[in-house]
């Protein structure tokens, strides 16, 4: 099964992708995570991406397609993938369609997580993750069961993304409306779009997603 999780920053794509990955054994592919890994390694690509990410601007299409292309084909030939944060522009969607078609592969669903913009600022500015295992949390909506201790691995080290501040979030939301929303219409024309209510509680969104993917 090949899925795209679609929605603005803070919609819950990463949170839900990790749950689907566990439930269905298909691989989460987050272009944001890939770019942050490149930046941490200090590669040429990573350095270029880092400056844009800090400003809340999109990274060029050719660079993104280059880093995600081979991996998504590899996963599609196994059990499938969940794309999280890609495609983010119409040219990226067209590149993805072409990559898959050339291998005789296709998307099964593009799931749009529908949310209110204003709520996304609070979601993003309250977001943090476990520094050891990457489990996702929120200051208000998803606190660890024991304060300061990761539910999954017991680590007491957490981190926050430097781009998860209010000014950058607003820039990212603007980029979403200008450049990413048209991707939904691209897939509506292909009859692939399914919608879920992303303002519901996290478990409820998971249940809606499971109903869509079957």
Catalytic residue numbers read 13, 88, 127, 161, 172
Residue 95: which residues within 8 A CB-CB, separation 6 or more? 61, 65, 69, 87
* Residue found by looking up tokens 């996702």 in the block: 136
Task: Give CA–CA dist 136/129, Å, rounded.
Answer: 4
Task: Give CA–CA dist 82/60, Å, rounded.
Answer: 21
Q: How far is the CB of 154 from Zn ion (least distance, A)?
A: 7
206 is a contact residue toward ligand ADP (CB under 6 A):
no
Of 114-173, binders to Zn ion (CB under 5 A) are 130, 132-133, 135, 150, 152-153, 155
Q: What value, to the nearest 5°, has the Cα angle with vertex 201 and ends 195 and 205?
A: 30
10 is a contact residue toward ligand ADP (CB under 6 A):
yes
Q: How far is the CB of 156 from ligand ADP (least distance, A)?
A: 18
Burial class (CB in 10 A: 0-12, 13-18, 19+), 194: middle
- Exactly one of 14, 27, 29, 107 binds ligand ADP (CB under 6 A); that residue is 14
- Exactly one of 52, 90, 100, 184 binds ligand ADP (CB under 6 A); that residue is 52
- Exactly one of 1, 73, 90, 202 binds ligand ADP (CB under 6 A); that residue is 202
- Exactly one of 80, 172, 183, 196 binds ligand ADP (CB under 6 A); that residue is 172
46 is a contact residue toward ligand ADP (CB under 6 A):
no
185 phi, psi to nearest 5 deg:
-65, -35
13 binds, among Zn ion, ligand ADP, none (CB under 5 to 8 A by kind): ligand ADP
Binding mask 57-96 for ligand ADP (x = CB under 6 A): xxx----x--------------------xx-x---x----
Alpha-carbon torsion (116, 152, 68, 39), positive or negative = positive
């Amino acid at each position: 099964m090949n899925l795209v999780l679609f929605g603005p920053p803070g919609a819950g794509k990463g949170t839900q992708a990790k749950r689907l990955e566990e439930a269905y054994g298909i691989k989460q592919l987050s272009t944001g995570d890939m770019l942050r890994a490149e930046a941490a390694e200090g590669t040429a690509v990573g350095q270029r991406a880092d400056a844009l990410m800090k400003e809340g601007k999109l990274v060029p299409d050719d660079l993104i397609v280059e880093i995600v292309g081979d991996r998504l084909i590899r996963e599609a030939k196994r059990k499938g993938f969940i794309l999280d944060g890609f495609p983010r522009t119409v040219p990226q969607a067209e590149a993805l369609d072409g990559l898959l078609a050339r291998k005789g592969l296709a998307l099964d669903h593009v799931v749009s997580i529908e949310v209110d913009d204003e709520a996304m600022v609070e979601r993003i500015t309250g977001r943090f993750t476990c520094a050891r295992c990457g489990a996702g949390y929120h200051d208000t909506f998803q606190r660890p069961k024991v304060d300061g201790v990761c539910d999954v691995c017991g680590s007491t080290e957490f981190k926050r993304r430097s781009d998860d501040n209010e000014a950058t979030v607003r820039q990212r939301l603007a980029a979403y409306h200008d450049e990413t929303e048209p991707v939904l219409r691209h897939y509506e024309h292909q009859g692939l779009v399914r919608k879920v209510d992303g303002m519901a509680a996290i478990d409820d969104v998971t249940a809606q997603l499971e109903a869509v993917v079957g």
